[in-house]
Amino acid sequence: MLNLHPSFTPLGENNLIEYKSFLFAGGEPHIKISDHFDVGLPVTITHRINSFNDLGMICMAVDALKRMGVKEINLFIPYFPAARQDRVMIPGEPLSAKVYADMINAMALASVTIFDPHSEVTPALLNNCVTISNHEFIKQVIAKIGNEVKLISPDGGALKKIYKVSEFLGGTEVVECSKSRDVKTGKLSGFKVYSDDLAGADCLIVDDICDGGGTFIGLAEALKDKNAGKLYLAISHGIFSKGFEVFDQYFEQIFTTDSIKEVDHAGVTQIKLMNIL
């Protein structure tokens, strides 16, 4: 096991390979891997990709391992970068998900495992891709909430996945919602909840990624207009680029994993991936 983030050990800490990594002055990632392991055995690399340099460090590690004679290399990256850019919305944009996938595919890995992919596009682009669903994560979230909730699908793109979660949980009720997005500006509007009256029911919004949180704040307001009870938010990949204060007045608790980073905030419960996988 080669864990490239020192505090991120999603698959455990057994048989760890020692290494040193750093950035040269120009920002180039570099790694030196200890040869005190059996190069005849498969190696799994784990990492969080929060920057292009993180992907660069993976590329360097794979090259170093291959030069040491390792024949089978597997990669575990729970959050796939640029997963939201899985189509070209306006001329002049890249198909970013494919750019990352092409770079990873070029390393000819035995497998690439990702957690709760944004859509079916990423697994289709990646060679030898293994996906892990959010089902166990949501099961643990509901256990921590400790009372019955309705599952809230934030938009049409989440419907297919949330009904699979509902089936896994034995038929938990799903409330469908929608929103509109200006593809040129990214501005959100037109939040709709397709329920006449939630009659005080507690609600759990389930989605894969939270960046700034505009979707969930707009949706929380729409849910309250339909007489929702307590609101909870479960996010597989928590970026939270605008912090947590923006959510405090809307949600009883936010749940996320450590796929992006460690979180220390009173309103957030973090479930480690090692306890989900």
Kindly report the three-state secondary structure assignment for every residue of the chain: CEECCCCCCCCCCCCCCCEEEEECCCCCEEEEECCCCCCCCCEEEECCCCCHHHHHHHHHHHHHHHHHCCCCEEEECCCCCCCCCCCCCCCCCCCHHHHHHHHHHCCCCCEEEEECCCCCHHHHHCCCEEEECCHHHHHHHHHHHCCCCEEEECCHHHHHHHHHHHHHCCCCCEEEEEEEECCCCCCEEEEEECCCCCCCCCEEEEEEEECCCHHHHHHHHHHHHCCCCCEEEEEEEECCCCCCHHHCCCCCEEEEECCCCCCCCCCEEEECHHHCC
pTM for this model (two decimals): 0.93
- For 146-201, how does the pLDDT look when each residue is reduced to its tens digit (9 = 90+)? 999 999 999 888 899 999 999 999 999 999 999 887 766 667 778 999 999 999 99
CA distance 238 to 210: 5
Amino acid symbol at 51? S
pLDDT at 19 over 80: yes
Q: Cβ distance 179 to 219 under 8 Å?
A: yes
Of the chain, the percentage scoring pLDDT greater than 70 comes to 99
- The pLDDT, as a whole number, for residue 43 is 98
- The pLDDT, as a whole number, for residue 189 is 77
- The pLDDT, as a whole number, for residue 89 is 86
